[in-house]
Amino acid sequence: MSDNPVFDRIKSEVEGSDVVLFMKGTPVFPQCGFSASVVQVLNHMGANFKGINVLEDDSIRDGIKQYSNWPTIPQLYIKGEFVGGCDIIREMFETGELTQAFNDKGVALDA
């Protein structure tokens, strides 16, 4: 437990599922182009992920930026580790590094 209850909630979320995406809107209905773009990549790869809509909770929306020292949403976590925002995820997808990251962390992708 940390002194910050929001950090504790974030930590339990990112450790509670293999792949977690903090985003604006939901995986089915993203409300921001950057979030939509990461959802599209994950769906294309067949990655199962949990979407957390930061628009529903201001404390998470602010807290996640401090948690990762990252100023923007979306943010992708694999096995509890922050992997990147929209630019990095797209770049990693294009170079094949994202698939590699899933494999390295032992997270299965649907064929």
Partner 1 sequence: MAMNQAEIERFIKEALPDAEVVINDLRGDGDHYAAYVKSASFVGKSRVQQHQMVYSALQGRMGNELHALALQTAVPDAE
For residue 83, state whether it binds partner 1 (rule: CB under 8 A).
yes
Say how many residues touch partner 1, by CB under 8 A.
Answer: 15
Q: Which residues pair with 21 in a beta bridge?
A: 51, 76
Choices 10-18, 20-28, 68-76, 101-109 (CB under 8 A): range interacting with partner 1: 68-76
Q: Which residue has the tokens 């976590």?
A: 77
Among 40, 48, 59, 72, binds partner 1 (CB under 8 A): 72
Give the single-character DSSP code of 81: E
Beta-bridged to residue 53, according to DSSP, are 23
Binding track over 13-52 against partner 1, x by CB under 8 A: ---------------------x------------------
CB proximity list for 34: less than 8 A, separation 6 or greater: 24, 72, 73, 74, 85, 86
- Separation of alpha carbons 79 and 16, rounded Å: 8
Q: Which stretch binds partner 1 (CB under 8 A): 3-11, 44-52, 78-86, 99-107?
A: 78-86
Residues that bind partner 1 (CB under 8 A): 34, 65, 69-72, 82-88, 91-92
